[in-house]
Amino acid sequence: MTAVNDFIFGNGNLHERFCAITELLEKLVRVAPSPLSLAQMKRHTGRSSRDINKHCLELVRNGLVIETSDGHWTLAGDPADLTLEDVYRCAMARQEWRSPVRRADHQPNHVVDLLLMQAVLAINQSVHQHLRQFSLDRLKPASNVPFPLGRNRLHGLNYNGNPDIASAAHSA
């Protein structure tokens, strides 16, 4: 029997970066607006200093986190303004893209290349649209955030025509 890997986006490395960045942001959201040190991040996540630094530097480069003068990290803005789309962009920022190796006798098929490029663009737009719906302020402690979401926060969310999901979410 084959084990199925449930990777978001179908890529184990991207999934790991996405999870690590979300985990680090979750710790910062919970203490916002206070900063966290490397030692605190290590203690809360169990990740190595190297791993934390690598991801936090990417968060700084993408404008999601600020490194303070004493080497601590804090959110660059309001947690309600951060979404999983921001996490995805950050995780994808250092993604190494390699063009597929083509055989020497392979002739490029511009019609197929154009069709596949259009499909990739549509898929990426869809991914961004869906991830944009998940704000990281949901990660704050339950006492600070109303959960489940009220009707005003659900207005405009697209449930892809699934009445079971839409009615269950709107009745929350």
Comparing 35-39, 80-84, 149-153, the range with the smallest average pLDDT is: 149-153
Q: In this predicted model, what pLDDT tens digit does every residue of 50-88 receive, in sequence order?
A: 999 999 999 999 999 999 989 899 999 999 899 999 999
Residue 78: give the domain boundaries.
Answer: 8-96+110-140
Q: In this predicted model, what pLDDT tens digit does every residue of 96-150 receive, in sequence order?
A: 544 455 555 666 778 887 888 888 788 888 989 999 999 988 887 754 544 344 4
More confident of the two residues 17 and 96 = 17
Does residue 102 fall inside a structural domain? no
Residues 6+ apart with CB under 8 A from 26: 136, 139
Does residue 59 fall inside a structural domain? yes
Does residue 158 fall inside a structural domain? no
What's the CATH code of the domain at 115?
1.10.10.10
- The Cα angle at residue 115 between residues 88 and 92, in degrees rounded to 5: 15
